[in-house]
Amino acid sequence: MAATDIARQVGEGCRTVPLAGHVGFDSLPDQLVNKSVSQGFCFNILCVGETGLGKSTLMDTLFNTKFEGEPANHTQPGVQLRSNTYDLQESNVGLKLTIVSTVGFGDQINKEDSYKPIVEFIDAQFEAYLQEELKIRRVLHSYHDSRMHACLYFIAPTGHSLKSLDLVTMKKLDSKVNIIPIIAKSDAISKSELTKFKIKITSELVSNGVQIYQFPTDDESVAEINGTMNAHLPFAVIGSTEELKIGNKMMKARQYPWGTVQVENEAHCDFVKLREMLIRVNMEDLREQTHSRHYELYRRCKLEEMGFQDTDPDSKPFSLQETYEAKRNEFLGELQKKEEEMRQMFVQRVKEKEAELKEAEKELHEKFDRLKKLHQDEKKKLEDKKKSLDDEVSAFKQRKTAAELLQSQGSQAGGSQTLKRDKEKKNFF
């Protein structure tokens, strides 16, 4: 439509408002950037490795900050996960960084279950996020996402091959977190040995089916650098918070009797490559992979365990409400079945208890009858014995009376004879 036509339709005397700037939806990315910057970002790193491989030192070197933490010893009875959260600021961008370290990993004699606390910890973070998603009133915009976005797996610089503990642990973790293998304290082995060690590690990971994180090459802007860096995995790194004067500059380095190892010198180690890939280039992709791949896998398995499905047996779409109703009816049916089984079990136990009580009552009655009969027998015996004793007492009394009578008669006869003798004696004189 021509401008004259628009003016004719609007009419004369209408006030025109000048535009303050460009009008278009191409400003949407700027809006997203401003919103993201105002909200801030979070990034969580899981450091897995044996005690003494320099995990804390590398974190301090990566973020150029001295993180507070207690040093770990080799006397832990089991593997413990220690989590610390820090608020970092760079320019006008805020980052809530969470570092989780595995204290006591690989220090036990029996290392068979060393990976289990790590897997349980990762699953616990997924479960917390899933519970927040399933709430009626969700606050995901302000929820502190504690899911692990990257796992830096520290490999001891042996120069030979991976340990069985490393292979088992990485195999258990590759479906739950983005694994970036790194060779810790790489200045402990020579350049030629390091190259062979990297090739050996890569071949062992492939042969054992361990899926490590590959830097994405889909985006044309980072495809070239990520493709190049994928060929350098695993990174051989050195950490140091000490600064030494090299030439006219102060640089992070490690001083040895035979020379100086510069942390940020790519000819000495891959620390700069790790920092570029982890922080500058692929941090957002690590966050996205954690949500779209690892968390979605956990969420799907968890919901399938709970009985939720996307389709019915006829491969037709199945809504969440229908799934909930079907699961609820199934649960109620199982509940009624269990209730009926418990009721029958209760009735059966009551009958068994009644039978036991009746049997016990019968035994008590029989015992009472036996005791009563025994008492009667004892009573009869005592009565018979008493009667016998009474008869003996009566007989004894009769004998006593007869004896006393005889004695009295004898006494009288003896007195009369004495008188007669006295009288005869007097007559004689």
Residue 299 lies in a domain: yes
- pTM as predicted: 0.71
Residue 241 lies in a domain: yes
Residue 423 lies in a domain: no
Domain with 338 in it: 325-385
Same domain assignment for residues 347 and 300: no
- Give the pLDDT of the chain (429 residues) as one tens digit per residue: 444 454 455 555 566 666 666 667 777 888 888 888 888 899 999 999 998 898 999 999 999 888 877 777 767 788 999 999 999 998 889 999 999 999 989 888 888 889 999 999 999 999 999 999 888 888 888 888 999 999 999 999 998 889 999 999 999 999 999 999 999 999 999 999 999 999 999 999 999 999 999 999 988 888 999 999 999 899 999 998 888 888 888 888 998 888 899 999 899 999 999 999 999 999 999 999 999 999 999 999 988 887 777 666 666 666 667 777 777 888 888 899 999 999 999 999 999 999 999 999 999 999 999 999 999 999 999 999 999 999 999 989 888 888 888 888 877 776 666 666 766 666 655
Q: Which of 306, 336, 353 is the last residue of a domain?
A: 306
CA-to-CA separations, 122 to 100, 129, 313, in angstroms, rounded: 10, 11, 33
Residue 394 lies in a domain: no
Residue 393 lies in a domain: no
Same domain assignment for residues 61 and 182: yes
Same domain assignment for residues 261 and 346: no
Same domain assignment for residues 152 and 277: yes
